[in-house]
Structure 1
Amino acid sequence: MAEQWTARFGALGLAADQELLYLHLLGSPGLTAAQLGVAAGTGTERALVGLGVLAELGLVERPVAEYPVWRSAAPDVALEELLLRRELELRRARGRINELLRTYRRTTAGTEGELVEVITGRESIADLWRSLQLGARAQLRVLDKPPYIRRSDPELELASLARGVRMRVVYESQVLREPARMAEIHRFTEAGEQARVLTELPLKLALVDDRWALLPVSSGTEEQSVLLVRPSSLLDALTGLFELYWSRAMRLPPPDSAESPRDRHHQLLTLLAAGLTDESIARQMGVSTRTVQRWVRELMDRFGARTRFQAGIQAARADLL
């Protein structure tokens, strides 16, 4: 029984037995400490201790002499007050972060250690990336390319988008050749992510607000060691690098953008510019490889181009991309 109820209000600071006592009272007009001890399986003495904590928090009402039973307080009022109290404590804790960071930096040898930290190990890197995503307040900017430490967590990104975090991602075209990955990316863009694509990216990079950057120590070490960069001229340079590649990248067309000939041409040109093969483009657009080849030939003829690259240049000049 206890396992079914556990940790519903853990974020409010309630222990499991206190939570169980509160839930039993919510479903009853009133119970004695002895009755609650039996119902919750805690015993009378332990129930009295837990009820005392709940009373201090304002979640239950103490017994009166003429009617010696415990009652739950109205949850909308009691829980709201408790939530506000916890939020105040969290804000105070957040205010201590800089103080704690200064203490942490004093234990790091050298000036560079204050600005750049090396994180090693797959699990440590994955946990850090998850923490950075959860800590994003305003924006998240990513240069996305393989290899990946672990499979992405779509729900984490969707939750960030839902709470108003602006996300801009430049994908290397190699990842767009995977139908499952493309379906996931389109799910993100439908939720508000701004996505672009380039044939090749120089490195993996994540920028969280203007506070942190995460990138590999060197090419080929993505799964073993990364750099966590804090506010500095290096962080400014990495931000500029992202904006440069963002400006060069092509917009990623939505999956249903091939309904009209104009939209079909836009999608085709974008995928060609991203460096996808005819076979990959065919899978993306849901047509045969021969159809893609015919469309490419039509575009080349339209622009008088001898190569796909020339067709892309002419399309850009015509503001079709």
Structure 2
Amino acid sequence: MDARRQAVPGMGMLAGLGLGPLEEQLYLRLLGLPAAEPQWLASQLNLRASIVVAALAVLAELGLVESCAAGAWTAVPPDVALEELLLRREVELRRARGRIGELMRTYRQGRPDDGAAGPVEVISGRRSIADLWRTLQLGVRERLRVLDRPPYVRRSDPQTGLALLGRGVTTRVVYHSRVLRDPERLAEIRTFTAAGEQARVHTEVPLKLALLDDRWALLPVSAGTELESVLLIRPSTLLDALAGLFELYWAHAMRLPEPSEEPPEDRHRQLLTLLAAGLTDESIARQLGVSTRTVQRWVREVMDRFGARTRFQAGIQAARADLL
């Protein structure tokens, strides 16, 4: 077998620091050795010595190896070398991010008659929309806010959303209450809430909307065109208005009901949430896994508890009691 293709523990872990496969393999080999000469390393990797010498020079430039006696090379301890390299890369990334505005100005100047890259850009085509959404998700640093309403589109790559939560991105989603009638969709949402997503439901969600940090917003051009044509909104008064719209609906939305098998007090809270979401007795019964007659009895208990003559009055009293 070609030594260049042999598996080395940890291979690929340093690609994000700018190391090529050969440089990484050399460094990982040297980590397990006191020192080694280029000729010996070349024989182990079935490469010319000149190629290994060139790769060692790259590693030395990055501060990962250093020469020692008799022309041999040794690895610099990773806790020192990699930390310094990480800091250097972070500085470079911050500088690159700081130039985005300048690069965007150059981009716009090259397209004086093109609306692209302005505050509002139209993106068309399923593939282009999917690629854009994935890129935006990967670029989120702090928070993701979403208004979600029918027609529902199944997450094509749920791992990307779970990865956002895994790296600490605050995710808040307001779902249309109709989602409570879709067991498959609801099960998917519970997977995300278990991973840290904050979810609420509202009876009236006006549009689909995704806000990524305070840098982008994504929404369909019109209802029913989610997979065909979307608007990409960049920082502008429109983006600010959309952020305000989300916060308004978030403030008036209700917590996503938890699964059943709760004690009576929590059962009433869950029942009130489902009632306020506009579900019928039959839908609530399916959601809670009980009979319709049981739901009707619980509704009567709640109404009696608050001295209400209608469900609406019970909801008002529940809200005043901070049960919703």
TM-score, reference length from structure 1: 0.86
Q: Which segment is superposed worse, 228-237 or 144-153? A: 144-153
Alignment of 1:128-139 (within 5 A): 128-139=132-143
In structure 1, the residue matched to 2:44 is 39
In the aligned structure 2, how far is the partner of 1:180 from the partner of 1:3?
Answer: 44
How has the CA–CA distance of structure 1 residues 23 and 288 changed in structure 2, closer, same or farther, with 3 Å as cutoff? farther
Matched, 1:243 2:247: yes
SS at match of 1:181: helix
Q: Give the alignment's Cα RMSD to 1 decimal.
A: 2.7
Q: Secondary structure at the match of 2:108?
A: helix
Unaligned runs of 5+ in 1: none
Q: Judge conservation of contact 2:104–2:117 (CA < 8 Å) in 1.
A: no
Distance change (3 Å), C-alpha of 1:74 and 1:113: closer
* Identity rate, percent: 68
1:26 counterpart residue number: 31
Gaps of 5+ in 2: none
- Counterparts of residues 12-161 of structure 1 (less than 5 Å): 12-65=17-70, 68-106=71-109, 107=111, 109=113, 114-148=118-152, 151=155, 153-161=157-165
Structure 1, 144-153 or 265-274: larger mean CA deviation = 144-153
Q: TM-score, normalised by structure 2?
A: 0.86
| Partner SS state of residue 173, structure 2 | strand
Q: Secondary structure at the match of 1:141?
A: strand
The 3 A distance-change label for structure 1 pair 37 and 287 is farther
Residues 295-304 or 210-219, more deviating: 295-304
Contact map agreement 1:154 1:184 (CA 8 A) in 2: no
Mean CA deviation greater in 243-252 or 111-120: 111-120
Structure 1 residues 39, 283: closer, same or farther in 2, change over 3 A?
farther
1:286/1:43 Cα in 2 relative to 1: closer, same or farther (>3 Å)? farther
Cα distance in 1 for partners of 2:167, 2:100 equals 22
Q: Given residue 265 of structure 1, which amino acid in structure 2 is its aligned partner?
A: H
Moved more, 289-298 or 76-85: 289-298
Report if the CA contact (8 A) 2:115-2:121 is conserved: no
Name the count of aligned residue pairs: 318
Match of 1:151, SS? coil
Going from structure 1 to structure 2, the CA distance change for 1:228 and 1:189 (only over 3 Å counts) comes to same
The answer to whether residue 212 in structure 2 is matched with residue 208 in structure 1 is yes
Match of 1:165 among 166, 169, 186: 169
In structure 1, distance between residues paired with 2:322 and 2:62: 63
SS in 1 for 2:302: helix
Return the letter of the residue paired with 1:101: M
CA distance in 1, matches of 2:154, 2:300: 40
Q: Secondary structure of 1:126's partner?
A: helix
Return the offset for 1:227: 0.3
